Structure 1
């Protein structure tokens, strides 16, 4: 992704935290069918490989897994918080009206070549770990073993697993770092005072800089 130097994030722990907090990632690949994208929950194992390894699963009917099986590089997009930035937030606007709106955001992009998994045991492990992750905290969490065994076997035959060791990792924290300290503070306070909770979340990121 295009990411100018002031907005690049190379803090691996923070990038991993962002990925783990993203509930739904986007898997993008290019192959014989052109560009394909699938929205899916994923699991990140930070201890596997230099940048970590991602596990997920796709419907077997989804042709994207065939492009992945051919060795095409894949991109996983992990969107984060974002907010519209109005020029009215800039105190400098009073003396310099040459300003335009922009958008602040956080995002992580992970690249790699995926391994496609067909075997039942590792598939069951992926769906079990995903389920346990998203059911945690519920008073009565649902477990994969709650489903009848024959039904579960059929569901596993209808999916394929993905294991993607991350070869490249890009992080973006576009938080008005390219503005003056005065304008940066104006954006942070403007978003922090917004009635929109998403704006306030972005302002919280700016307070960590």
Structure 2
């Protein structure tokens, strides 16, 4: 992706947070000479530098692993439209234009498949804990009848992306003056939706 240096994000904790808060990735591979995108919830295993997930056994994606398949997982973070009306510089020069602020992470790596029930169980248990542990009454895989779980496990295949590199971009008005950035933050804070206020918060954190 086009990645000017002032938009490049290299902080590992920030990148992990973007993936963790937006785990539904678009996994791009080449199948039969054509680009294919599968939308899959992932879990970042930073300690082993990999992404974990599973797919339906009927999905041909996992069979690509035997072909040393390169893969790209895209995680879209927060994003908001930015109107030129928020820039104080508009009143002086008029030389402003609309834009879009956003966060995105591209994870590149090799697709690996683990076609066995134990790997599938470990993967769904990790994914389940990630999304359930903060709930008031967290659900666990063991809460379901074992015969039901076993049937489900036979219908899925565990996959992982063995990460080779990560590119992260946070376009948060870094290319504007401090005055214009403050104008964008103020405008976002006045918008009547949580996503806009969240973008304003991220912009303020970026300034610290």
TM range (shorter): over 0.9
Alignment equivalent of 2:76, drawn from 79, 86, 91:
79
Which runs of structure 2 are paired with 1:103-118 in the superposition (5 Å)?
103-118=100-115
1:167 aligns with 2:159: no
2:31 maps to 31
- Count of aligned pairs: 206
Which segment drifts farther, 87-96 or 27-36? 27-36
For structure 2, the residue ranges without an aligned partner over 5 or more in a row are none
Distance (whole Å) between structure 1 residues aligned to residue 46 and residue 191 of structure 2: 35
TM-score with structure 1 length normalisation?
Answer: 0.92
1:54 maps to 51
How far off is 1:137 after superposition?
Answer: 2.8
Q: Please state which structure has a larger fraction of its residues in helix.
A: 2
Which segment drifts farther, 195-204 or 62-71? 62-71
Aligned-CA RMSD value: 1.4
TM-score with structure 2 length normalisation?
Answer: 0.93
* 8 Å contact kept, 1:57–1:159: yes
Distance (whole Å) between structure 1 residues aligned to residue 56 and residue 119 of structure 2: 15
Cα distance per residue 1:1-49 (max 9 Å; x no partner): 222221111112211122122232221111315111122221111111x
Distance (whole Å) between structure 2 residues aligned to residue 140 and residue 87 of structure 1: 46
